[in-house]
């Protein structure tokens, strides 16, 4: 009889429950594999361990073979379209196009008109935003000092912390190796309300 790492099984079960509670949906096998880089080297191994949890009556499978959602953990959700990429560095041109709609729990990200962007660059790593993360933005054209915003500068956008200093606008990177971007004006596209790290 094959033996399984009970500690890993427990961590896997807790991760699934926490993910469902936080996001109102179940994690995919690939998401689980990425979350446990030292535990699962393939989605096949994830599937095997999911099967163990199912056999023990801890979780159920959906009709398509994915992990069934525990109805008791479903959260009220809102949809935020993924509309492309945002650079964490020097402003760059990006063409907005809806790639998919992402369901987000309202209790974590709030209300309002939300959209998501995939990040690249490293100017916001000091704030915990790394390349490949998703940032959730509430669409608005104003922001307070210190808020992280999507700013449009000369037709190019960037993700930075916003400060007003006299008649100048400072777009501050959260990276000690990078300098502030100082402009006379910019258009605020939205304010950061959360981020999603996939790895």
Alpha-carbon gap, residue 79 to 175, rounded angstroms: 31
Token pair 């210190």 is found at 146
Alpha-carbon gap, residue 179 to 172, rounded angstroms: 7
Cα torsion angle, 99, 101, 103, 107, sign: positive
In the beta sheet, which residues pair with residue 61?
A: 67
Alpha-carbon gap, residue 148 to 88, rounded angstroms: 11
- 159 Cβ partners below 8 Å, 6+ apart? 86, 87, 88, 117, 119, 123, 124, 129, 135, 148, 149, 150, 151, 192
Catalytic residue among 11, 42, 63, 160: 160
Q: 106 an active-site residue?
A: no
Q: 47 an active-site residue?
A: no
Catalytic residue among 123, 139, 168, 184: 123
146: left (phi > 0), else alpha (psi -120 to 50), else beta? left
22 token code pair: 């936080």
For the annotated catalytic residues, the residue numbers are 123, 160
């Amino acid at each position: 009889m094959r033996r399984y790492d009970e500690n890993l099984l427990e961590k896997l079960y807790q991760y699934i429950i926490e993910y469902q509670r936080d996001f109102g949906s179940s994690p995919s096998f690939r998401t689980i594999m990425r979350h446990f880089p030292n535990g699962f080297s393939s989605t096949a191994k994830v599937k095997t361990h999911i099967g163990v949890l199912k056999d023990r009556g801890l979780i159920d499978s959906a009709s398509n073979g994915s992990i069934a959602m525990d109805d008791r953990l479903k959260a009220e959700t809102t949809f935020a379209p993924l509309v492309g990429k945002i650079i964490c560095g020097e402003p760059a041109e990006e063409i907005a196009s809806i790639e998919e709609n992402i369901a987000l729990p309202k209790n974590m990200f709030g209300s309002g008109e939300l959209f998501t962007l995939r990040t690249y660059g490293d100017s916001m790593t000091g704030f915990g935003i790394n390349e490949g993360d998703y940032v959730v933005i509430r669409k608005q054209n104003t922001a307070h000092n210190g808020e992280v915003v999507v700013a449009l500068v000369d037709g190019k956008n960037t993700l930075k912390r916003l400060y007003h200093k006299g008649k100048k606008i400072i777009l501050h990177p959260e990276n000690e190796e990078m300098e502030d971007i100082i402009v006379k004006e910019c258009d605020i596209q939205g304010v950061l309300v959360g981020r999603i790290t996939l790895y």
